[in-house]
C-alpha cells in the first residue's frame, strides 16, 4: 500500500466513522461482507448492548462497531489514530492483557464476543471455553480466521 493510499484510507475511516450508517455503507460497498458487517448486523438484529473483542490488531473492526458498551482485549495495543480516538470514548475500554489474563479477572458478561486473537488451535479453544463462561443468555460468539491460511500456521497449531 502506498503512503498516498494509506492517507486516503485513513481520511475515509475518519469521515465514515462519524456515522454508523455511513460506516456500514462504506464497508458494504468497498470491503464486501466482513467482520464489521457480521458483528454489527448481529448487534442490530438482537439489540445486543455489550460487545467483547479478543484480538485488536489495528482496531478498525472494534472502532467501527456501534454498541452501547464494548471492551477490546489485546496484550499489545498498537498506538494509532484509531486507538487514540477510542481511548476518549466513554462506552469503550481497551485492556492490555492476554485473553487468559483478562478472563481470569473479568466479572462482566457480554451479548456478543468476537474472537480474533492468537490464531493457534489450543488458544482458540481456551478463548471459546472462557468466553462461554461470560456470555449472557442468548449471547453469541463469533470466530474469525478459523481456517489456517498456510501450512506453516496449520503445523504451528498442531505442536
Give CA–CA dist 141/111, Å, rounded. Answer: 8
How is residue 11 written as a grid cell? 481520511
Is residue 124 within 8 A of residue 113, CB to CB? The reply is: no
Of 149, 80, 135, 64, residue with least CA distance to 103: 135
pLDDT single digits (tens) 25-52: 555 555 556 788 889 989 999 999 999 9
Q: How many domains does the chain have?
A: 1
Residue 97 is part of which domain span? 33-158
- Mean pLDDT for the stretch of residues 90-108: 94
Asked if the structure places residue 11 within a domain, the reply is: no
Q: Could you give the CA distance from residue 36 to residue 62 in angstroms, rounded to a whole number?
A: 8
What's the average model confidence in pLDDT over 16-30?
A: 55
In CATH, what number is assigned to the domain containing residue 141?
3.40.50.150
User: Is residue 121 domain-resident?
Assistant: yes
Amino acid at each position: 500500500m502506498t503512503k498516498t493510499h494509506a492517507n486516503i484510507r485513513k481520511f475515509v475511516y475518519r469521515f465514515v466513522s462519524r456515522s454508523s450508517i455511513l460506516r456500514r455503507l462504506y464497508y458494504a460497498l468497498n470491503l464486501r461482507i466482513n467482520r464489521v458487517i457480521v458483528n454489527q448486523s448481529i448487534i442490530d438484529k438482537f439489540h445486543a448492548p455489550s460487545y467483547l473483542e479478543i484480538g485488536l490488531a489495528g482496531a478498525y473492526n472494534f472502532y467501527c462497531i456501534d454498541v452501547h458498551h464494548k471492551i477490546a482485549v489485546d496484550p499489545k495495543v498498537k498506538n494509532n489514530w484509531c486507538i487514540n480516538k477510542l481511548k476518549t470514548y466513554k462506552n469503550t475500554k481497551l485492556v492490555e492483557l492476554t485473553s487468559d489474563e483478562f478472563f481470569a479477572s473479568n466479572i462482566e458478561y457480554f451479548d456478543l464476543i468476537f474472537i480474533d486473537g492468537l490464531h493457534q488451535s489450543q488458544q482458540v479453544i481456551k478463548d471459546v471455553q472462557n468466553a462461554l463462561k461470560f456470555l449472557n443468555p442468548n449471547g453469541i460468539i463469533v470466530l474469525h480466521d478459523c481456517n489456517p491460511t498456510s501450512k506453516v500456521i496449520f503445523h504451528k497449531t498442531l505442536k
